[in-house]
Each structure stands twice: as C-alpha cells, then as structure tokens.
Amino acid sequence: MQLHTLTLREASEMLATKQISSVELTQATLQRAHEIDPKIQSYVTLADDVALEQAKQADERIAKGKDLTPLTGIPFAMKDAISTRGVRTTCSSKILENYVPQYNATVTQKLADAGAVLIGKTNMDEFGMGSSCENSALFKTRNPWNLERVPGGSSGGAAASMAAGLCNFSIGEDTGGSVRMPAGFCNVTGIKPTYGRVSRYGLISLVSSFDCIGPMTRDVYDCATVLETIAGHDPQDSTTFNSPVPQYNQNLNKTVKGMTIGIPKEYFVSGMDAGVENAIQQAIRTYEKLGMKIQEVSLPHTQYALPVYYLLLFAEASSNLARFDGTRFGLSASENAKDVIDIYLQTRHEGFGDEVKRRIMLGAYALSAGYYDAYYLKAQKVRTLLRRDFELALSSVDILLAPTSPTTAFKLGEKTNNPLEMYLSDIYVVATNPAGVPALALPAGFSNNMPVGMQLIGKHLDEQTLFQVGHAYQQVTDWHKQNPVIGD
C-alpha cells in the first residue's frame, strides 16, 4: 500500500475503518517529506511536533467516533501566506523569515476544527509575486516531474508537495492563477473559488480584491470536500458571501450530457505550445463524447486582462505591504539608524526582494496624485468590462474551458531575467480574478512528459457545476492518477 498516493477519500476511509491511525499516516508523511523534500524543497517549515500532536488528537476523535469529518486525521500542507498560530509564516520573504503568528487564519482554524493535521508550510513566490516560485527569497522549489523545471507559482510549493506525495491535500492561494497555474505544471487538481467564498482573514494579503484561498488535491472529489470545509461566511471578513455553502459532493455524478462548454476564442491564438493545444483539444473532444455541446464564445476584453490585473495588483500590494515596517514584527533592521525613517528604509531594503520592490514602486506610482485617474481608476473601469465579459459569455454556456498556461513547466532560470515574459505565463489565468469568477484546474494530459493543465471557469458562486463537469472528466480519464517518479 503506497500511502503517499492515497486520495483524501481513500485515506479517510482507511482512518475510519482503523486500517491505519492518523499518527501512523502523519509519521509516514513526515518521514517521506524529510526524505524526498530536500530534492523538491516544497516546504518552508515542517511542523513535526504540531502535526503529531494534532494526529494524536484526531486519533482520539476517531476512537470516540465523535465529531468526525472527512478531514479528521488527514495530513495537509498550507501555503506559507496563511497564518498558523505558533507555526512561522514567512510568505517566503526575508522580512517575515522569523515571524510566528499569534492567531490562526479562519481557514487554519476551520481545518483544525475539522481535525485535519498540519504537516507544514509550503514555499511560494515572495508575497505571491511570481509565476515560478523562483521569487521565493528563501529557496527555489523544483517540479517533481522534472527537477530542472519550475513548479509554477505563486503556490509552487503547495502544488509540488501535492504532486510529490508529501501531503494528502494542500491549501493554496490564487491571486491571478497562483493555484491553477502550478496545479497545471504539477498535474494537480485545484480550485480558485469565487471571490468571497472563502474567508481571507489571516491570509497575508497580496491583492485584497483578488486573493482567493483554494484547495489543491488529487482529484475533483477531494477538492470539493476540502472547499466545503473551508468555505463560508466569516464575520471577520466583510468581503465573504453570506450565502450557505452547498454540499459540493452531492451532485458530482449528475450527468453532464446536454450541458454546454464555451471555448473563449481569444485564448486560442498564437503563443500556445502545440503540445498544450493538442491536449486541450483532446479534452474538448472527451467532453463532446460525454454529450456536451461545444460553443465558441468571446471574451472581447481579454487583451486588457494582463495590464488591468497587474496595475491593480501593484496598487493594492503597495498599500498591503506597508505594514512591514520593522517596528512590530518580522525583520527589523535598525543598525546605525538615525531615526524611524532609517529603520523603515533599512528594513524594507533588506527585507524585500527585487520583484516586491519593483511592484511596490509601480503601485505607489499608479496611485499617486495626478496618475490615479489614468492608471488605477481606468484599470478599475476596465475591470468591470472584464467581469461583464465573463457574465455575458457564461449567460449562454454552462462553463468555459481554457488552458491554465500557454506552455508546460519551463526551466528554472529561463524567465527570471525577463519579468514581462514571466508575467505572460499567467495570460490565461489572470482575468478570472479581477472578474471574481471561480475556476477549477484539472490535469489534462502530457506534452513532452510534462503535465498540461486545463481550467473550467464558472459563474459566480457556481463551484458546484465546475466540480460536476470536472468530475465527469476524471471519471473517463486518468491523467490525474499519474504520479511523478522523483529523480535525483
């Protein structure tokens, strides 16, 4: 029995039927992580003590047979942008390298309450700024499918830990594709829920109006299970929806026959790798075989998605990152400081990486007097157009289908000297975040032995349809069941 390839559902059944204890499962997971992860470097922190304590408590719950949830006793990994009380939370930045939160994010608390076992915190691009995990200020994470290649970003560690079998599920965060793009690179299932579906309280903000926490799993069934646990209204996050959370797993097996998939024509233009396009076309044919109708749709403002996304990101991030000033937590560089301004300058100079500094400067510029209207305000207006694009397209079809990335995972170092080219790798995933719509990433095949990802994009709060359509695909394909052989 290979524990590291178990789905959440399988592991949960084994725990419930006492074929294995949570402590045993957790120990095996930790042991594998200590063995394998030095090659992958997906974890920033392995929380052995916390994990074993939580596993023990989970076993007590299981023994009593009380308050059991599908996540009780299941080891998981958490992106290092989400606050975990007592376990350091770095955002893969020097400025937070030794920061230990005093409180739990709502998502952390919900998972703890459900009895899930926190294995560790996963690497990411610093503050979520990047598409390859190479912008981590701590170390670079490698793609388990090919150690020369990047896992994608910014939730690269989350995707890699999942693909390498170093956790049973993983919590990522998607600001502009940060769950879906690495999921695609690493052959993992992952969802960016509707904006406001999952509480952001305790998530260290990159872009407050884009950020969405979402699970990364082995299949759609697990993804639905985890989302159901972490979703819902939070009195501490005023941007969460007050509507009830559906039982996402309930309609998974409902037929997709007769439903319509929209193919955004703007996404199928030059720039896409032939191997990626081929895999996506095959997926479309698979759906046709399942009785779905295929219809071309238009998202006419797609060409503006990237500039709008980045402009708003720069602006909000420049403000969100202001609190890292060296006075209360994290790095404080005050050697030879003459005054508090010196402390700010030194701390932020030493604490932030180049990409973070670049984005803060661009954001402060876009918000300054005299430029606000031309940049920030204009971008917000176009954002409304992007949102309408999706609403209009989705009014005639049930879901949209698109790749998660124009290429498969690229090589480490390939794009680090060209920020603009790096930005372009997010071309298919960024528009959903300004629009707020949910999108599910699924493994869709391989090109040159590297995974290809596709995404299904749905209507606001209609995650259920995404899961239904995604599940139907995974019932007739086994891409998601492929596991990498970790090389040396």
Which residues form the catalytic set? Answer: 79, 154, 178
Min separation Cβ 47 and another protein, Å:
18
Q: Which of residues 373-402 bind another protein (CB under 8 A)?
A: 376
The whole-angstrom separation of Cα 481 and Cα 488 is 22
Closest to another protein by CB, 126 vs 219, is 126
From 245, 216, 212, select the one nearest 228 (Cα to Cα).
245
Min separation Cβ 230 and another protein, Å:
15
- Look at residue 274 and give its three-state secondary structure: helix
Closest to another protein by CB, 63 vs 340, is 340
Q: Which residues pair with 212 in a beta bridge?
A: 174
Min separation Cβ 127 and another protein, Å:
10
The whole-angstrom separation of Cα 83 and Cα 86 is 9
Which helix (H) or strand (E) segment holds residue 260: the answer is strand 260-264
Q: Which of 52, 284, 367, 486 binds another protein (CB under 8 A)?
A: 367
Q: Which of residues 120-159 bind another protein (CB under 8 A)?
A: none
Min separation Cβ 347 and another protein, Å:
11
Min separation Cβ 130 and another protein, Å:
19
The phi, psi pair for 231, rounded to 5°, reads -80, 170
Closest to another protein by CB, 191 vs 321, is 321
Min separation Cβ 414 and another protein, Å:
31
Binding mask of the shown chain, residues 316 to 345, with x at each position contacting another protein by CB under 8 A:
x-xx-xxxxx-xxx----------xx--x-
Size of the site for another protein (CB under 8 A): 45
Q: Which of 151, 157, 176, 202 binds another protein (CB under 8 A)?
A: 202
From 128, 126, 131, 161, select the one nearest 143 (Cα to Cα).
161
Binding mask of the shown chain, residues 225 to 264, with x at each position contacting another protein by CB under 8 A:
----------xxxxx-------------------------
Stretch that binds another protein, among 303-311, 369-377, 388-396, 450-458 (CB under 8 A): 369-377
Angle between helices 8-16 and 22-40 (to 10 degrees): 150
User: By the 8 A CB rule, do 415 and 132 touch?
Assistant: yes
Q: In 404-444, which ranges are continuous DSSP H helix? A: 419-424, 432-435
Q: In 397-446, which ranges are continuous DSSP H helix? A: 419-424, 432-435
Where do the DSSP E strands lie in 169-224?
A: 169-174, 189-192, 212-217
Closest to another protein by CB, 242 vs 417, is 242
Binding mask of the shown chain, residues 63 to 82, with x at each position contacting another protein by CB under 8 A:
-------------------x
Binding mask of the shown chain, residues 299 to 318, with x at each position contacting another protein by CB under 8 A:
----------------xx-x
Min separation Cβ 353 and another protein, Å:
17
User: Residue 333 — left, alpha, or beta (φ > 0 → left; ψ -120 to 50 → alpha)?
Assistant: beta
Closest to another protein by CB, 289 vs 338, is 338
Min separation Cβ 330 and another protein, Å:
8
Closest to another protein by CB, 237 vs 462, is 237
Distances (CA, A) of 459 to 211, 249, 290, 387, 411: 17, 18, 21, 11, 34
Q: Which of 208, 260, 416, 477 binds another protein (CB under 8 A)?
A: 208
Q: Which of 200, 359, 383, 387 binds another protein (CB under 8 A)?
A: 200
Where do the DSSP E strands lie in 145-211?
A: 169-174, 189-192
Number of helices and strands in the chain (H, E): 15, 11
From 31, 475, 80, select the one nearest 256 (Cα to Cα).
475
Q: Which residues pair with 293 in a beta bridge?
A: 260
Q: Which two tokens stand for residue 462?
A: 């209609």
Closest to another protein by CB, 127 vs 467, is 127
The phi, psi pair for 74, rounded to 5°, reads -90, 125
Q: Which two tokens stand for residue 78?
A: 């958490």
The whole-angstrom separation of Cα 427 and Cα 120 is 30
User: By the 8 A CB rule, do 317 and 207 touch?
Assistant: yes
Residue type for position 341: I
Stretch that binds another protein, among 10-18, 260-268, 366-374, 442-450 (CB under 8 A): 366-374
Q: Examine residue 434 and tell whether it contacts another protein (CB under 8 A).
A: no
Q: Examine residue 364 and tell whether it contacts another protein (CB under 8 A).
A: yes
From 219, 212, 43, select the one nearest 138 (Cα to Cα).
43
Min separation Cβ 239 and another protein, Å:
6
- Look at residue 32 and give its three-state secondary structure: helix
Q: Which of residues 84-103 bind another protein (CB under 8 A)?
A: 89, 91, 96, 99, 101-103
Closest to another protein by CB, 250 vs 327, is 327
Contacting residues toward another protein, per CB under 8 A: 82-83, 89, 91, 96, 99, 101-103, 105, 200-205, 207-209, 235-239, 315-316, 318-319, 321-325, 327-329, 340-341, 344, 364, 367-369, 372, 376
